[in-house]
Structure 1
Amino acid sequence: MSKCPAPVKPEKILDYIEPRTDLIVPIANGEPRTLIDVIEEAADTLDGVRIHQMHCLHDRPYINGAFGNNLRHVSYFLSHITRPAYAAGHVDYAPANFSEVPHIMNDMTKEPIVIAAASLPDQHGYFSLGTSADYVASMIGRRRFFLEATPHMPRTHGANVIHHSQILGWCQTERELVAVPRVEPKPVEKTIAALVAEQIPDRATLQVGIGGIANAILAGLHSHKDLGLHTELLHDGVMDLVEAGVITGVAKEHRRNRSVTTFALGTKELYSWLDDNAAVEMLRVDYVNNPREIARLSNFVSVNATLEVDLLGQCASETIGTKYFSGSGGQADFARGAMYSPGGKAFIVLPSTTRDGRSRIVSTLAPGAVVTTLKNTVDHVVTEHGIARLRGKTLAQRAKALIGIAAPEHRDELARSAHERGLLLD
């Protein structure tokens, strides 16, 4: 057995932070909250330190510009925390497909330190990064690590374990994880979900996001057989299907009998279920979200949400007009992987209208909107009014199909615009 050194005080991390040090923090509950508390308390002594992270869950003074250039946040996917801070000019945003974030972080930082939440060490001296693998798993053994271990972090299996000999040090806290309650789907989301669930065959391998539509889709799959899972985010709906014997992974050509993910976010029940669950593999995102790896799985089904789709099939999933809302995430990764999967299907889902009644199927994207998923990659678009199948279709066929799933009260105006643009000639 390998004897693990005793934990140190969290303040020890400050010994390793020099001017212009880059700190890399895992996604969501991978954030080492006590270590960042310590770093913030010493912010007046820092110089040009940057914290790099996707999808931050905790609001902090440094995120809101309290320490100026001493300590600044670089986001790779805006959350409800970083979104307003970015709009106010206090956060930097680096756009990237999730699969490419590890490579970008490595290329754009110099000798960074990964600071991460982890499980307590086991009898062999190994820590688990618990709910995270994401971009930091690819850095194990290649970058410096300092860990914050808590008994509340589940010990998960996969490529996210790290030996005490590979870290600068570790501290111990009692910090609990952020629990995210289940989202109850709205009626329109249930309608969309039912349309998608009908298109998913037995023995397919799934990637499904989070939210009302995703939860409704998963809830509608309980009569399916031998589904597989290869997804960036694992949440409670997935747990339910595994427990019900619906997700088994027996038909997967790779990682057979295992549910593959790169991070998890959900209820305390989910975190307890993940603890020492060898049927779930936490793998690095440059494997999980790699379109080439996804394409090796037959009958792969990808489901992701968007904010707006134009009549060409372009999807704006991260901006509302010129305003950034989230980020690219893994949408394009999975849409492209599903395109190359034998028998694969990719679905982009959205309600047909906004809360104030505006159409989400539009003639042209809002001025300044960012295209997240290209028209050439989009396969199916689904609203509560039906499914538009776009792969291989002409521009006229695309426009006609998309108008057909728009809200009825907007179809005449969309058709008029399509004729003016020359997309429809009859």
Structure 2
Amino acid sequence: MNQHKEKDIKELLSLIPNDADIIIPVGNGEPDFILSAIDENPQLFSSLRIHQMLELKDRNYMHGLYPQIHYHSYFMNTFARKAYANGTCDLIPNHFHQMPKLLEKITKHPVVICQATPMDEDGYFSLGTEADYAAYFIGKIPFILQVNQHMPRTKGNNNIHISQILGYVRHAAPLVELKPSVITDVDKKIAEYVAERIDHGATLQVGIGGIPDAVVSLLKNHKDLGIHTEMLTDGISKLFKAGVITGAKKNTHVGKIVATFAFGSNDLYDFMDQNEHLEMLSVDYVNDPRIIAKEDNMISINATTEIDFYGQCASETVAGRYYSSTGGQADFGTGVQFAKNGKGFICMHSTTKNGTISRIKPVLTPGSVVTTSKNDVDYVVTEYGITQLKGKSLSQRTQSLITLAHPQFREQLQFDAKKMGLI
């Protein structure tokens, strides 16, 4: 059966339905060799729709070069962002935990094409750094694999048997690494406000960037932390190795790190390989607010680009233009609200553009999109302090947010707030 399913690239392309909806996982789940072959042989297909959340490479098909191939993004990275700005990429709004059901609903002839580990002696491939929405479809729709020996073999519901795939091609290439964030003094100050509110035994969801990395770096003296997060990072692996993360106080998956995808350095990927303490689970489970809420002391740490006096957070637009999408911010922001002692932190620098623009505004920049609603925001943090908006009136919110703004903008913000009748 193994020899029968292994193909060369030309044979593999012939397995893709002529009118397919190609589903590509997040990050290193992207099968570069196969997608490059599609990009170089568009004439083989009459109509393709490609669905992807976080692309790693640029492709001609993103930029409208082939009228029969349509590209749909669900969370833009650099290349999809450019395509979207040029009108050749469709951006589809979503909550990350709803991605599997959304893809089920809008695709007609779905096939998952992704990277995986070599097959083990029992005939199973592992999706490695990924579970995300791809793992949900295992056993439900066809899979085509790019087998890469550099992909770590991981535990969870992201393993697929050779009987469940159409075919595979071998292509060894190093995984893409995420460059470490540069942690600034401002990041450290914000992180201090958050870290001092994280109790021993808490369960964490941490995002990407300098502030989450800074928070993690300050938790070295904590005890029995747990992890239930969409993205697994280098900082988490370091805390585990230091004995800080044990998962002993969790209510679900006790003693286990739970994540739905990973992105970081080769050290992180090595840490994941055959790690019995790690479970890579599909996003409809990991990011389900009802599952998140089962952890009593759940902590969510995310970022935003600007916030208005009402507490509305615009986290996917910059200066009123689309930059990314919702991701899991709302999933975890909702989940912590239902957790017994849950806390949600929205973090940001107080200014942007070298200190010339305040991120705290009377109203959001025209064109901005609200990611976390005023009703769902909990704590807001800048380098000037922390405030809990939950339970505060509009007037109280306005006054407390102004104290978090850069001093040079506070007088104008006070003036605007009075003009709006908020103070």
Q: Do they superpose with TM above 0.5? A: yes
Q: SS state of the match for residue 336, structure 1?
A: helix
Specify the alignment match of 1:170 in structure 2: 168
Deviations 1:80-139 (A, max 9, x none): 121111101111110111111111111000130100100000010000000000001110
How much has 1:64 moved relative to structure 2? 2.1
Matched, 1:211 2:209: yes
Write out aligned runs for 1:278-297 (5 A): 278-297=276-295
Aligned partners of 1:314, 1:20: CA distance in 2, in Å? 41
1:234 corresponds to which of 221, 225, 232? 232
Specify the alignment match of 1:32 in structure 2: 31
Aligned partners of 2:54, 2:248: CA distance in 1, in Å? 32
Specify the alignment match of 2:186 in structure 1: 188
**Which piece of structure 1 moves more, 139-148 or 7-16?**
7-16
| Identical aligned residues as a percent | 47
Aligned partners of 1:365, 1:286: CA distance in 2, in Å? 31
**Which piece of structure 1 moves more, 381-390 or 35-44?**
35-44
How much has 1:3 moved relative to structure 2? 6.2
Specify the alignment match of 2:264 in structure 1: 266
Aligned partners of 1:292, 1:12: CA distance in 2, in Å? 43
Q: SS state of the match for residue 348, structure 1?
A: strand
Q: CA RMSD in A?
A: 1.2
C-alpha contact 2:5 2:166 (8 A) present in aligned 1: no
C-alpha contact 1:4 1:125 (8 A) present in aligned 2: no
How much has 1:381 moved relative to structure 2? 0.4
Aligned partners of 1:360, 1:71: CA distance in 2, in Å? 39
Specify the alignment match of 1:151 in structure 2: 149
Write out aligned runs for 1:5-404 (5 A): 5=4, 7-67=6-66, 69-357=67-355, 358-404=357-403
How much has 1:63 moved relative to structure 2? 1.5
Amino acid in the other structure paired with 2:389: L
Q: What runs of 5+ residues in structure 2 fail to find an aligned partner?
A: none
How much has 1:412 moved relative to structure 2? 1.1
C-alpha contact 1:179 1:266 (8 A) present in aligned 2: yes
Aligned partners of 2:111, 2:329: CA distance in 1, in Å? 28
Aligned partners of 2:14, 2:3: CA distance in 1, in Å? 21
Q: What runs of 5+ residues in structure 1 fail to find an aligned partner?
A: none
C-alpha contact 1:5 1:164 (8 A) present in aligned 2: no
C-alpha contact 2:19 2:109 (8 A) present in aligned 1: no
Deviations 1:161-188 (A, max 9, x none): 0000001011111122101122130110
C-alpha contact 1:4 1:121 (8 A) present in aligned 2: no
Aligned partners of 1:201, 1:4: CA distance in 2, in Å? 53
Aligned partners of 1:5, 1:294: CA distance in 2, in Å? 42
C-alpha contact 1:156 1:281 (8 A) present in aligned 2: yes
Aligned length: 422
C-alpha contact 1:308 1:360 (8 A) present in aligned 2: yes
TM-score by length of 1: 0.97
Q: SS state of the match for residue 290, structure 2?
A: helix
Q: SS state of the match for residue 195, structure 1?
A: helix
Aligned partners of 1:167, 1:6: CA distance in 2, in Å? 8
Amino acid in the other structure paired with 1:15: S
C-alpha contact 1:3 1:124 (8 A) present in aligned 2: no
How much has 1:60 moved relative to structure 2? 1.4
Aligned partners of 2:11, 2:337: CA distance in 1, in Å? 48
How much has 1:5 moved relative to structure 2? 4.8
TM-score by length of 2: 0.98
**Which piece of structure 1 moves more, 299-308 or 407-416?**
407-416
